[in-house]
Amino acid sequence: MPLVSPFRTSFGTQTARDVLLLRAVTADGEGWGECVAMSDPLYSSEYVDATADVLRRFLVPALADGSEDLRRHGAPAVAALLRKFKGHRMAKAALEMAVLDAELRASGRSWARELGAVHERVPSGVSVGIYDSIPVLLDVVGGYLDAGYVRIKLKIEPGWDLEPVRAVRERFGDDVLLQVDANTAYTLRDARHLSKLDDFDLLLIEQPLEEEDVVGHAALARQVRTPICLDESIVSAESAAAAIELGACSIINIKPGRVGGYLEAVRIHDVAAAHGLAVWCGGMLETGLGRAANAALGALPGFTLPGDISASDRFYQTDITAPLTIEDGYMQVPTGPGLGVTPIPEILDAVTTSTEWIQLR
């Protein structure tokens, strides 16, 4: 699916997204899952072709082997059946999502109700990539503010950090909710430089250091006033608890694909809430399927900061589902069975490059 415009971060530039979808067909109905892995292993070690391979060879057959547990316990059994396979959280998350969606659609329950949502709509923030010039950046940010987005997140990297942030503050004022995302582009040696961001009253700086460097983030948190938010470092409820105990973060960005699924995302939300930490829902250029699921997740009580839950037209000229829109800076949480949205067959057919069916015995 081609993007409306190139999306540049510290780890690369995307002009299109190669989307892996899973369709789970059961005796009672069907459900959809979306894998958020990128085409290349840049954001994480996972990538689309690898997720397809591990699903085909290991994960889907494991569900067949554990079919009795699956019938007895439903979607919550998926994680347990797949636990013996190391890593591959994005693939696992997509499979669990498809199974859970099928289960909820069959019973008439909504994704939001299942996860524990308490809000009917969620505040919508937007992630702004790296541009070739500050004037272009300011035009883009202005357009998003005019469209009603309540929070702006700027991607940063060495050489593109203080000046763009200063320019946005000077143009749009201190009232704009503003945060930055480094996607692991810095090291602890940059602490003094990163402390200069304190002058701009940011909501947070997201994942400034390498994902494995949780101790480094704890050290950085003692040297800057801007709250540290972890993204790539958090892959489970256990890793969230450890990071909190070390003082490595005061905010967590929860991306369901990164942590192995929406049910694990809820557990991380609960851990953060128990420790008094704010969380928010990050985005991975999802189609309407993942976007609807994220909106439901972002409606849980602990999600107190605006997430990257932007409208469909933020990334895609034509989404594969009915467009999800924002009004007055908020997105309505779908209330229909399951995800509350489904792919539009003719649109899905137009962008589908291949399909493969796996029959469970």
Written as six digits, the tokens of 219 are 């050290």
- Within 10 angstroms of residue 223's Cβ, the number of other Cβ atoms is 12
Residue 20, strand partner residues: 35
Assign 177 to helix, strand or coil.
strand
358: burial class by Cβ within 10 Å (0-12, 13-18, 19+)?
exposed
Beta strands in the chain (DSSP E): 2-9, 12-16, 20-26, 29-35, 121-123, 125-128, 151-155, 177-181, 205-206, 228-230, 251-254, 278-281, 330-332
Is residue 233 classed as helix, strand or coil in its secondary structure? coil
Cβ-Cβ contacts under 8 Å for 164 (sequence gap 6 or more): 134, 137, 154, 156
Candidates 84, 153, 155, 196; catalytic one? 155
- Identify the active-site residue in 84, 92, 153, 255: 255
Sign of CA dihedral 216, 222, 226, 228: positive
Q: Is 92 a catalytic residue?
A: no
Please, what is the Cα angle at 256 between 155 and 101, to 5 degrees? 135
Please, which residues have CB within 8 angstroms of residue 93's CB and are 6 or more apart in sequence?
A: 33, 35, 36, 256, 257, 258, 259, 260, 261, 262, 264
- State how far the Cα of 306 lies from the Cα of 136, in Å rounded to an integer: 24
Among residues 253, 191, 182, the alpha carbon closest in space to that of 219 is found at: 191
Euclidean distance between the first and final Cα of the chain, in Å?
33
> How many CB atoms sit inside 10 A of residue 126's CB?
24
* Residue length of the chain: 361
What is the rounded distance in angstroms from the CA atom of residue 160 to the CA atom of residue 250? 24
Q: Is 155 a catalytic residue?
A: yes
8 Å CB contact between 210 and 188? no
Residues that are catalytic: 155, 255
